[in-house]
Amino acid sequence: MKKELKLTINGRPYQISVEPWMTLQDVLRDELKMKGTKKGCETGKCGSCTVILEGMVIKSCLMLALQANGKSILTIEGLSEEDKLHPLQQSFIDHGAAQCGFCTGGMIMTGKDLLDENPNPTEDEVREGLSGNLCRCTGYAGIVEAILGATKR
């Protein structure tokens, strides 16, 4: 039996009917077609589905959509303004921090939360903050440099 779900995503209100077993990730990708939030492990290990819910990073694969009812969500699609990339997105490009790109959205969302909370983190703090996001290509050095680099913008 479908239930009504109200969300604010990237500043825009949405109202849709969802099955109660759908995760927030299912709703973002399959119902609302926002494919920047990736489906990786689907068990909370890889972080590629990271979104920011009410100012906190969460893994959207581990939250039922209805648990987010009435809340406000920021996804990777909401970072840039018009044609202007968010400083973190630009920094990822400048530092060559993406290879296949699958983890990148989650990395950037986690990086954003990290910098919102601590605008001048140390390398260790960045690495600790990223411990819930896996990258299988780059080996993390570029990603860490990109996040540190974005603080200087």
Partner 1 sequence: MVLLKQGLFSPQYLISIKDIASLDYITHNQKEGLKIGALTTHRKIEKSSIIKEKFGPLVKTVNGIGSIHIRNVGTIGGNLCHSDPSGDPAPTLIAMNAKVKAISLEGERTILLEEFFKDYYETELKEDEILTEIQIPSLPPNSFGTYTKYNLRGGGSNVVVKVAAFITMESEGKVCKDARIVLGAVGATPIRAKRAEDLLKGQEISLDLVLKVGKVASEECDPVSDVNGSEGYKREMVRVYTKNAIMECLKRAEIA
Which one of 62, 72, 77, 125 is in contact with partner 1 (CB under 8 A)?
Answer: 62
Instruction: Report which of 90, 112, 107, 93 is spatially closest to residue 40, judged by C-alpha positions.
Output: 107
Residue 82: count of CB within 10 angstroms of its CB: 4
Q: How many residues bind partner 1 (CB under 8 A)?
A: 25
Cα separation of 106 and 124, whole Å? 19
**Nearest 5 degrees, angle CA 133-CA 134-CA 138?**
125
In angstroms, rounded to a whole number, what is the distance separating the alpha carbons of residues 137 and 139?
6
- Residue from 9, 34, 61, 126 binding partner 1 (CB under 8 A): 61
Q: Does 150 bind partner 1 (CB under 8 A)?
A: no
- Of the candidate spans 63-71, 76-84, 87-95, 96-104, the one that interacts with partner 1 by CB under 8 A turns out to be 63-71
Which residues 78-97 are close enough to bind partner 1 by CB under 8 A?
none
Binding mask 111-130 for partner 1 (x = CB under 8 A): --x---------------x-
Q: Is 139 helix (H, G, I), strand (E, B) or coil?
A: coil
State the minimum distance, in angstroms, from the CB of residue 102 to partner 1. Answer: 17
Per DSSP, the residues of 8-51 read EETTEEEEEEE-TT-BHHHIIIIIT--TTS--SSSSSSS-TTEE
Q: Please, which residue, 97 or 109, has the CB nearer to partner 1?
A: 109
Options 110, 112, 115, 135; binder of partner 1; rule CB under 8 A: 110
Per-position x/- string for 26-55, each x denoting binding to partner 1 as judged by CB under 8 A, each - no binding: ----------------xxxx-x--x-----
